[in-house]
Amino acid sequence: MAELHDLTALEQGALIRSGVISPVELTDHYLERAARLPREYVDGAFAFLDPDAARRRAHEVAAVGPVGEGASPLAGVPTAIKDLNLTRGVPTAFGSPAFAGYVPEVSDAVTLAIEEAGLVSLGKTSTPEFGSPCYTEPEGRPPAVTPWDTTRMAGGSSGGAAAAVAAGLVPVAHGSDGGGSIRIPAACCGLVGLKPTRGRISGFPMYGDPVGLATSGSIARTVADAAALLDVLAGRRAGDPSWAPEPAGTFLEATGREPGRLRIGCFEQPVIADVELHPEVRRAYDDTAALLTSLGHQVEGIPVPIPADAVPVFETCWAVLTALSTVTLTPEQQALLRPLTRWLGERGAAVSGPEFGLAIGQLRRLAAQALVALAPYDAVLTPTLATLPLPVGAIRDDADPAADFEAQKRFTPFTSAWNVTGMPAISLPLHQSSEGLPIGMMLAARPAAEELLLSLAAQVEAAVPWKDRRPPLW
């Protein structure tokens, strides 16, 4: 007999609406599960787990009674919020000892949207310092690991969120993605990871990314769950500097539509690093291209749309964004930063204002060139990662942060391309290695075309279902 955590988030929401279970019962189920799973795993997934607050919130949602027309189908469903997002009254450390004990007085747009939709947050999911690395090994805490092999990393920077969803600690979770930070952990943990188009989700009130690389998005076990959470998160606020056009309907509705026959470009040459694909990743890529062809789509190889000279421009912007996260810290806080953060921050602080402005302009021109080159295609297929999930500690190198940064590029040479262009992209858990490790494949679509992307992803999921594929820790 299926347990509650075996059900998808949407199935759980339907049970709440029908009165079969209450938000309180569902929240208790997940909190009891968190108490049963290995402590180190749970602590690696959650930076802060707050059972008392979660139960109070569940009672508040239950007291509202049956939800009306237009309410989120995820109302009453447990979730969690990444430790990078301001959450009023809840410890939020941004993955760093420098902010230990910090409790925000306001919530950001993501937190407010989750609360307004009636979801129940169990706490804050773990992230590396300021969300910078592609692995989640925060100082002084257990690493976030994949439940498929707990000696291997969950990826980053939304590694805690992915570890929580993949082990059935929450059915769906929010993540954020400035260079692959949703899609990388989704690939490591065998999940769906959706990075929406630039401007789809508000950055209120901080608006901390002047480059436009980062956005929030969904981590889930199914495409439909990811779409339903995007419906919760999406929307502009009055102060937003830019925004995506409204969809024709809901994103969840899009998962029930046939995409039609699409023209899909594909490439497997890494974008930001000179690295060979793992043989099993290459085989998975070839199998995915064949699957798309069998579904009736026109699939054709294309050149890499972003040139190699984009890499140093991206790195300049990335370093400055790190510097912006650290420049206002006190000397005492600066001393607590890990070597990679200090190295990137110093590199960014050495960039002058005019140099930063020129880098942003150049990055936008490179993005425009890529968008023009990809305009004939409805979607683009690449691997998500170059290799299988790596052992914990395989990338982190505190003695040589430059080597650490280069190793991150070799691990994730595809994902940041779609942050540069602002295109929506989704990682799908289509394959497993001979060792049983998940292998993600990534699809991207034209700007603001999440509905088409989700329709295609749902078609792929229907052809090769993965919902009932569960890790040993389940």
Is the alpha carbon torsion for 437, 441, 447, 449 positive or negative?
Answer: negative
Assess whether 157 carries a catalytic annotation.
yes
Active-site hit among 82, 124, 195, 409? 82
Cβ atoms 233, 217 nearer than 8 A: yes
Is the alpha carbon torsion for 456, 461, 467, 472 positive or negative?
Answer: negative
Is residue 209 packed enough to be buried (19+ CB in 10 Å), middle (13-18) or exposed (0-12)? middle
Active-site hit among 96, 157, 218, 433? 157
Residue with the two structure tokens 């430059």: 402
Cα 325 to Cα 132: distance, rounded to the nearest angstrom: 10
**What is the 3-class SS of the chain, one letter each residue?**
CCCHHHCCHHHHHHHHHHCCCCHHHHHHHHHHHHHHCCHHHHHHHEEEECHHHHHHHHHHHHHHCCCCCCCCCCCCCEEEEECCCCCCCCCCCCCCHHHCCCCCCCCCHHHHHHHHCCCEEEEEECCCHHHCCCCCCCCCCCCCECCCCCCEECCCCCHHHHHHHHCCCCCEEEEEECCCCCHHHHHHHCCEEEECCCCCECCCCCCCCCCCCCEEEEEECCHHHHHHHHHHHCECCCCCCCCCCCCCCCHHHHCCCCCCCCEEEECCCCCCCCCCCCHHHHHHHHHHHHHHHHCCCEEEECCCCCCCCHHHHHHHHHHHHHHHHHCCCCHHHHCCCCHHHHHHHHHHHCCCHHHHHHHHHHHHHHHHHHHHHHCCCCEEEEECCCCCCCECCCCCCCCCHHHHHHHHHHHCCCCHHHHHHCCCEEEEEEEECCCCCEEEEEEEECCCCHHHHHHHHHHHHHHCCCCCCCCCCC
Rounded to 5 degrees, φ, ψ at 346 are -65, -40
Active-site hit among 176, 181, 202, 416? 181
Q: Which residues contact 113 (CB under 8 A, 6 or more apart)?
A: 232, 233, 235
Looking at the annotation, which residues are catalytic? 82, 157, 181
